[in-house]
């Protein structure tokens, strides 16, 4: 399948490598292709230059946001939450229309100190997932994978025999089902995919970052997640 | 130990019964004692009249908010989050001063439809736990037990061999330690008591209600909680 990832940070790269390994055709979108490839320094988040990774992952095709979105049958938003809407606008609604748009980002606000809070207007009674759905009404937004470290997204079996929660929400049932199929391919067990229904559930899953970040500080690792006990 | 519970709803009653069973002296605070005992109808939340429960739990002493707080060495806030500050004001700061004030409530806002959201101004960058601490600076607020159904608070062994998370936060380390001792008495295993540090962590644990309420709807039970997988 042709899958396009909007964003070239660690999360996007991690997903891209896994999707290539699974045999998918992967496009990655960035603001400016030549600038991205010319950069030889680490980015603001300490990631090694994209070009190094790109050489080692030569099956991935780097394109502009807009072209990447155009090529993809499924689009994954892997940008930082604070710039997701802007990046998706650059990807252009026409290229996202009628397609599944998997949103794995979180609306983290680093401006008020650490640990970050959630961005004003995108929490409690709203969410980034909903905001993306409202902004791109002809896309089928499915929120998933946003409650864990990217290493676990593509390798759930790394901890607890793979038995930990991955929440899914989105307004379109068929889209949720297709995303579940993709997640099963990646290695997620069906019984750990918790379908919360419509996209308003993103309010709940995005707010899990508040406890996740505290626990990451306490456990000194991102390689943890949650299981439901009942 | 003399323990006072502010609030006479299901949560308060459940805790009171357990604390009596453990040999504690339990006071419960209400706005108007004679009115509370005279009521023969179910309350707004469908609880049977308090007087019925009170007859069956005759060791509990019902008092005004203020007197109950005065008698207690430890105070537990088991009111609804939206009226906690008001109830605690009626309990009077002087009666809460220098004491551990365990806050098990959540700032749920039922005014915007179901599932409830969190009250404006008491989420994300603030919390009810913090607001109580700010309002009663001479009390030692410890937030705990607020992320689960009351049946599990007093009987963690009901599910998963008791192995599920109970978060603790509060600004005073000694107070957190004393509350952990009380929780161990109730049946909580030490390894499941997760100490998140200061009271700002209440932002994270209170926001867990957003996912908890969605899962309660999905699982059709409150008898569930979470375990960390790592």
Q: What is the DSSP letter of A42?
A: -
Please state the pTM of the whole predicted model: 0.97
Query: What domain range is A90 assigned to?
Result: 2-219
CATH of the domain at A75: 3.40.50.720
pLDDT for residue A47: 81
Would A195 be classed as within a structural domain?
yes
Report pLDDT for A45.
76
With an 8 Å Cβ cutoff, are A203 and B124 in contact? no
pLDDT tens for B176-228 read 999 999 999 999 999 999 999 999 999 999 999 999 999 999 999 999 999 99
Q: Which of B146, B162, B152 is nearest to B210 (CA)?
A: B146
The 3 state secondary structure assigned to A107-151 is: CEECCCCCCCEECCCCCCCCCHHHHHHHHCCCCEEEEECCCCCHH
Closest CB from B205, B215, B229 relative to A211: B205
Distance from CA of A65 to the nearest CA of B (A): 31
Nearest Cβ partner for A224 among B123, B223, B230: B230
For residue A18, pLDDT over 90 is answered with: yes
Q: Which two tokens stand for residue B218?
A: 């999905």
Name the residue with tokens 């979470």.
Answer: B226
Q: Please choose, from the candidates A223, A85, A210, A92, the residue with its C-alpha nearest in 3D space to the C-alpha of residue A154.
A: A223
Q: Could you tell me if residue A20 is inside a domain?
A: yes
Query: Is the CB of residue A98 less than 8 Å from the CB of residue A138?
Result: yes
B207 vs A211: CB contact, 8 Å cut-off? yes
Secondary structure letter of residue A85 according to DSSP:
H
Chain B nearest C-alpha distance from A206 (Å): 9
Q: With CB atoms and an 8 Å threshold, state whether B229 touches A196.
A: no
> With 80 as the cut, is the pLDDT of residue A74 above it?
yes
Span A29-37, average pLDDT: 96
Contacts of B127 in chain A (CB under 8 A): none
Model confidence at A44, in pLDDT bands (50, 70, 90)?
A: confident
Q: Is B227 within the bounds of a domain?
A: no
pLDDT at residue A85 above 80?
A: yes
Tell whether the model's pLDDT for residue B45 goes beyond 90. Answer: no
Arithmetic mean of pLDDT, B118-126: 98
Q: How far apart are CA A58 and CA A47, in angstroms?
A: 18
Smallest CA–CA separation between A136 and chain B, in Å?
25
From chain B, pick out residues whose CB is under 8 angstroms from the CB of A160. Answer: 229-230
pLDDT digits (tens, 9 = 90+) for B107-117: 999 999 999 99
Helix (H, G, I), strand (E, B) or coil at B115: coil
Contact B223 A214 (CB under 8 A): no
Two tokens at B71?
């008698």
Any chain B CB within 8 A of the CB of A160?
Answer: yes
How many independent structural domains does chain A possess? 1
Instruction: Give chain A positions within 8 Å (CB) of B159.
Output: 229-230
pLDDT recorded at residue A42: 87
**Are the Cβ atoms of A201 and B215 closer than 8 angstroms?**
no
Quote the mean pLDDT of chain A. Answer: 97
Chain B residue with minimum CA distance to A198: B214
Whether residue B215 is contained in a domain is answered as yes
Of residues B112, B201, B227, nearest to A229 (C-beta): B227
> Do the chains contact at B215 and A194, CB–CB below 8 Å?
yes
Q: Could you tell me if B191 lies within 8 Å of chain A, comparing CB atoms? A: no
pLDDT at B46: 81
**What local confidence, expressed as pLDDT, does residue A78 receive?**
98
Quick one: tokens of A39? 């950069």
HSE-CB for A51 with a 13 A CA cutoff: 11
Q: What is the residue-averaged pLDDT of chain B?
A: 97
Mark yes or no for CB contact B160/A117 under 8 Å: no
Which residues in chain A touch residue B221, judged by CB atoms under 8 angstroms apart? Answer: 230
Cβ–Cβ under 8 Å, residues B91 and B57: no
**Mean pLDDT of the region B164-170:** 98
Q: Assess if residue B192 is contained within a domain.
A: yes
| Within-domain flag for B230 | no
| Minimum CA–CA partner of B228 in chain A | A226
- Cβ contact, residue pair A201, B223, below 8 Å: no
Task: Tell me which of A57-66, B2-11, B38-47, B71-80 is least confident.
Answer: B38-47
Pick the residue from chain B with its C-alpha nearest to A213: B204
Averaged over A186-204, what is the pLDDT?
Answer: 98
| Residue B44: predicted pLDDT | 78
Higher pLDDT, A77 or A42: A77
Confirm whether A224 is domain-assigned.
Answer: no
């Amino acid at each position: 399948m042709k899958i396009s990832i909007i964003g070239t940070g660690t999360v996007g790269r991690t997903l891209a490598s896994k999707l290539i390994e699974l045999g998918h055709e992967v496009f990655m979108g960035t603001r400016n292709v030549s600038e991205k490839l010319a950069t030889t320094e680490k980015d603001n988040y300490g990631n090694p230059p994209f070009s190094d990774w790109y050489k080692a992952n030569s099956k991935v095709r780097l394109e502009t946001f807009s072209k990447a979105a155009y090529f993809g049958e499924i689009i994954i938003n892997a940008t930082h939450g604070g710039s997701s809407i802007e990046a998706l606008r650059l990807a252009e609604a026409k290229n996202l229309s009628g397609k599944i748009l998997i949103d794995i980002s979180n609306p983290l606000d680093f401006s008020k100190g650490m640990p970050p809070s959630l961005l004003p207007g995108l929490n409690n009674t709203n969410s980034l997932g909903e905001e993306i759905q409202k902004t791109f009404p002809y896309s089928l937004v499915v929120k998933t994978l946003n409650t864990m470290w990217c290493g676990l997204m593509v390798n759930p079996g790394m901890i607890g025999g793979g038995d930990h929660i991955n929440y899914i929400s989105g307004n379109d049932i068929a889209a949720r089902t297709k995303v579940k199929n993709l997640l099963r391919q990646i290695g997620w067990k069906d019984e750990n995919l918790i379908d919360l229904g419509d996209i308003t559930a993103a309010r709940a899953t995005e707010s899990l970052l508040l406890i996740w970040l505290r626990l990451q500080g306490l456990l000194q690792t991102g390689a943890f997640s949650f299981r439901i006990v009942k």
